[in-house]
């Protein structure tokens, strides 16, 4: 019954139009439009409370939108919820596996609930445990798993029915770098097999690595949207962050950094911090030299990846960035 | 139906992993049997028979009344964690979650009834009635357990945490079972308390079970109406509870799992 679900003739990805959700007076999500073509990855980027989880809950039929409509795998999330649920895999933010069952029993139960025979469910559980590196822990209770193992078990449960559309709510939050890389690898395999993925994250780097398209949410509204390279162009790549010995030097320091900057230099005199999005190939030692030549005393100079905050900073400080509509 | 069975198996699997979960339907009632049969029993007089024969009906009903705690805690746990979202995102009927829980809890109930009947036989209790009456007694116990499990399901669905569930269970079931004829004949109670005990649905079910088993009932001659017609009144209570609680539970569950 679940084998043929990939054969939807129409666009099998995700579409949303004017999606909105209010809880009483609070607007969690407003006027969200999304198109995620089949086999591509959309990264929903935003801080806590930006509306990411609300979006996932609506698209996975767990929550009913106040306004707008959406289809997943070609089916309406409001009127055809049962059809949608046959075609999706959902990994929630709180890992949704049963702590009082073993990893294997969790996967077998999910398989059985998808209508698989006992034998098929057991085989699929074995396969996924192996793929996600949980074979050794297969017969341990999930409540004894580490956070990373629990996440992997959750992802395995999400993949049991080989769903054509995957929803992952902050899949790598709380994971160590090694587990995060493993999880990314599994996701890439899925995408290579033609699976459509919507994932949420607070990390620009993660969205950049995995997503074909990124939508930045802020307080329930779309703040920016585009491909990772478009977004990077607006936001800039690496940052050089200078901590000043004397906050009064913020002005001259910003001038000295302007020569290396790809975009506007941001100074925060209150913190004695000056941050510049630097052009590719800029050498740190040149930056230090020019600061020194300008007679600016610094306590720290370092290079870092752009973060979600830099995205917001560049959107708010640069009105030229087009708002998504 | 098969979804219900799969989800019921999940709860039974929990018991296999954590057998302590069965303490409330096995060791705890056995402790009550020993405590009342051999410690307090000697000072409690039952006008028309032996205290041990009188006692078992009371402990059976008390145990099943506490049976509301199991589904309450289990459902509050699932709702508090993400488990319910996993199940809701699967292509299964939403109701199968509730029916799965209730089925598993009914299995625990049957275990409790079996354990207590066995313990009763060992301490000197017995079935003194005809086979159809005895079947009626067990049928009534199962009906009462069913009503209590639904009540627990409602509490679990509405509670904000598992502590709330245990709190509510102890605050209601303890006074209700001790302010009844479960352990002492109502005649021995002072005025006021006696009337409360005689109108208490627990007393009525206990009296009905004793009547159907042919055990001493110690129903006073001037008892309140429900105690004089315990079987009819008990069935009425159970049906009334179910008629109110089942729709409330379904509504509360839908509200709790829709946003």
The length of chain B, given as a count of residues: 259
Instruction: Write out the two tokens for A299.
Output: 């306590």
CB-based contact, B87 to chain A, within 8 Å: yes
Q: Does the pLDDT at position A283 exceed 60?
A: yes
Select from B158, B176, B164 the least CA-distant residue to B255.
Answer: B158
- Rounded CA gap, A107 and A265, in Å? 51
Q: Go through the domains of chain A in sequence order and give each one's CATH number.
A: 6-232 (3.40.50.300), 238-304 (3.30.70.920)
- Rounded CA gap, B143 and B213, in Å? 16
pLDDT digit string, tens, across residues A298-308: 899 888 888 77
CB-based contact, A14 to chain B, within 8 Å: no
Q: Does the pLDDT at position A270 exceed 70?
A: yes
The DSSP line for A80-122 is: THHHHHHHEEEE-SS--S-TTSBHHHHHHHHHHHTT--HHHHH
A2 pLDDT band (50/70/90 cuts)?
Answer: very low
**A14, A72 contact by CB (below 8 A):** yes
Q: Does the pLDDT at position A148 exceed 90?
A: no
End-to-end CA distance of chain A: 39
Average pLDDT, chain B: 92
Are B258 and A95 within 8 A, CB to CB? Answer: no
- Rounded CA gap, B225 and A14, in Å? 64
A248 pLDDT band (50/70/90 cuts)?
Answer: confident
The pLDDT of residue A130 is: 94
Are A113 and B3 within 8 A, CB to CB? Answer: yes
Beta bridge partners of A26: A23
The pLDDT of residue A322 is: 43
The pLDDT of residue A39 is: 92
Are B86 and A61 within 8 A, CB to CB? Answer: no
What's the burial of B210, exposed, middle or buried (CB within 10 Å: 0-12/13-18/19+)? buried
Sign of CA dihedral B227, B229, B234, B239: negative
The pLDDT of residue B188 is: 87
Select from B64, B58, B28 the least CA-distant residue to B197.
Answer: B58
- Rounded CA gap, A89 and A163, in Å? 6
The pLDDT of residue A317 is: 59
What's the burial of B42, exposed, middle or buried (CB within 10 Å: 0-12/13-18/19+)? exposed
ipTM > 0.90 for the complex: no
pLDDT digit string, tens, across residues B13-24: 998 888 888 888
Q: Does the pLDDT at position A8 exceed 60?
A: no
Instruction: Write out the two tokens for B129.
Output: 């009635």
- Residues B178-197, mean pLDDT to the nearest whole number: 91
- A107 vs B contacts (CB less than 8 Å): none
Q: Does the pLDDT at position A5 exceed 60?
A: no
Are A92 and B6 within 8 A, CB to CB? Answer: no
pLDDT digit string, tens, across residues A86-122: 999 998 777 689 999 999 999 999 999 999 999 999 9
How distant is the Cα of A88 from the closest Cα of chain B, in angstroms?
8
The percentage of residues in chain B with a pLDDT greater than 70, rounded to a whole number, is 100
- Residues A134-146, mean pLDDT to the nearest whole number: 93
Average pLDDT, chain A: 87
The pLDDT of residue A42 is: 96
Q: Does the pLDDT at position A312 exceed 80?
A: no
Order of all β-strands in the sheet with A196-201: A88-91, A165-169, A196-201, A41-45, A213-218, A221-226
Are B13 and A86 within 8 A, CB to CB? Answer: no
How distant is the Cα of A40 from the closest Cα of chain B, in angstroms?
22
Which residue in the set A88, A92, A114 is minimally distant from B85, CB to CB? A92
The pLDDT of residue A101 is: 93
**A45, A215 contact by CB (below 8 A):** yes
- Rounded CA gap, B56 and B112, in Å? 12
Higher pLDDT, B46 or B110: B110
Give the H/E segment covering residue B57.
helix B51-66
Select from A129, A200, A190, A136 the least CA-distant residue to A163.
Answer: A190
Q: Does the pLDDT at position A324 exceed 50?
A: no
- With both helix axes pointing from N to C terminus, report the angle between B162-178 and B69-80 in degrees, rounded to the nearest 10: 170
- Residues B93-98, mean pLDDT to the nearest whole number: 91
Q: Does the pLDDT at position B53 exceed 50?
A: yes
Select from B157, B210, B206, B215 the least CA-distant residue to B182.
Answer: B206
Report CA B11 to chain centroid distance, whole Å.
18
- Residues B138-144, mean pLDDT to the nearest whole number: 97
- A82 vs B contacts (CB less than 8 Å): 91
**B216, B46 contact by CB (below 8 A):** yes
**Lowest mean pLDDT, pick from A137-141, A216-220, A247-251, B206-210:** A247-251
Domain ranges of chain B: 2-256
């Amino acid at each position: 019954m679940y084998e043929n679900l990939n054969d939807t003739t129409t666009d099998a990805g995700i579409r949303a139009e004017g999606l909105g959700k209010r809880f009483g007076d609070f607007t969690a999500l407003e006027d969200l439009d999304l198109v995620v073509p089949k086999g591509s990855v959309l990264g929903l980027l935003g801080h806590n409370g930006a509306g990411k989880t609300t979006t996932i809950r609506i698209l996975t039929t767990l929550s009913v939108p106040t306004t707008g409509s959406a289809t997943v795998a070609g089916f309406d999330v409001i009127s055809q919820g049962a059809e949608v649920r046959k075609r999706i895999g959902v990994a929630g933010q709180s890992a949704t596996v049963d702590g009082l069952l073993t990893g294997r029993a969790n996967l077998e139960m999910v398989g059985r609930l998808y209508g698989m025979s006992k034998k098929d469910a057991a085989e699929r559980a074995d396969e996924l445990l192996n793929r996600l590196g949980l074979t050794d822990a297969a017969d341990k209770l999930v409540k004894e798993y580490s956070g990373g193992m629990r996440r992997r078990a959750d992802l395995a449960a999400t993949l049991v029915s080989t769903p054509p559309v995957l929803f992952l709510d902050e899949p790598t939050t709380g994971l160590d770098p090694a587990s995060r890389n493993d999880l990314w690898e599994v996701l890439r395999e899925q995408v290579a097999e033609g699976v459509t993925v919507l994932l949420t994250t607070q990390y620009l780097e993660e969205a950049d690595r995995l997503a074909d398209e990124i939508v930045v949410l802020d307080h329930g509204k779309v703040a920016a949207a585009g491909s990772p390279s478009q977004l990077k162009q607006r936001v800039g790549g690496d940052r050089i962050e200078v901590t000043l010995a004397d906050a009064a030097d913020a002005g001259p320091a910003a001038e000295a950094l302007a020569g290396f900057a790809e975009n506007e230099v941001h100074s925060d005199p209150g913190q004695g911090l000056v941050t510049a999005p630097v052009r590719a190939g800029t050498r740190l030692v040149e930056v230090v030299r020019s600061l020194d030549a300008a007679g600016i005393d610094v306590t720290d100079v370092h290079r870092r990846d752009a973060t979600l905050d830099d995205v917001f900073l560049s959107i708010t400080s640069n009105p030229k960035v087009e708002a998504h509509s | 139906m098969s979804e219900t069975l799969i989800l019921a198996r999940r709860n039974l699997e929990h018991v296999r992993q954590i057998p302590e979960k069965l303490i409330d339907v096995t060791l705890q009632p056995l402790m009550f049997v020993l405590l009342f049969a051999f410690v307090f029993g000697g000072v409690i007089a039952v006008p028309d028979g032996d205290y041990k024969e009188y006692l078992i009906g009371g402990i059976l009903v008390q145990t099943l009344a506490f049976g509301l705690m199991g589904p309450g805690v289990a459902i509050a746990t699932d709702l508090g964690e993400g488990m319910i979202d996993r199940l809701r995102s699967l292509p299964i009927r939403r109701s199968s979650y509730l029916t799965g829980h209730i089925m598993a809890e009914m299995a625990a109930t049957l275990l409790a009834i079996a354990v207590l009947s066995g313990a009763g036989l060992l301490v000197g209790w017995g079935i003194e009635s005809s086979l159809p009456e005895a079947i009626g007694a067990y049928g009534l116990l199962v009906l009462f357990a069913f009503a209590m499990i639904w009540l627990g399901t409602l509490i679990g669905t509405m509670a904000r945490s598992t502590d709330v569930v245990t709190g509510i269970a102890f605050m209601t079931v303890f006074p209700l079972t001790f302010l009844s004829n479960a352990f002492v004949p109502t005649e021995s109670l002072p005025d006021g308390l006696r009337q409360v005990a005689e109108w208490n649905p627990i007393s009525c079910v206990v009296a009905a079970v004793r009547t159907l088993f042919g055990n001493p009932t110690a129903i006073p001659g001037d008892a309140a109406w429900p105690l004089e017609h315990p079987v009819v009144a008990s069935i009425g209570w159970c049906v009334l509870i179910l008629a109110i609680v089942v729709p409330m539970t379904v509504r509360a569950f839908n509200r709790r799992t829709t946003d």
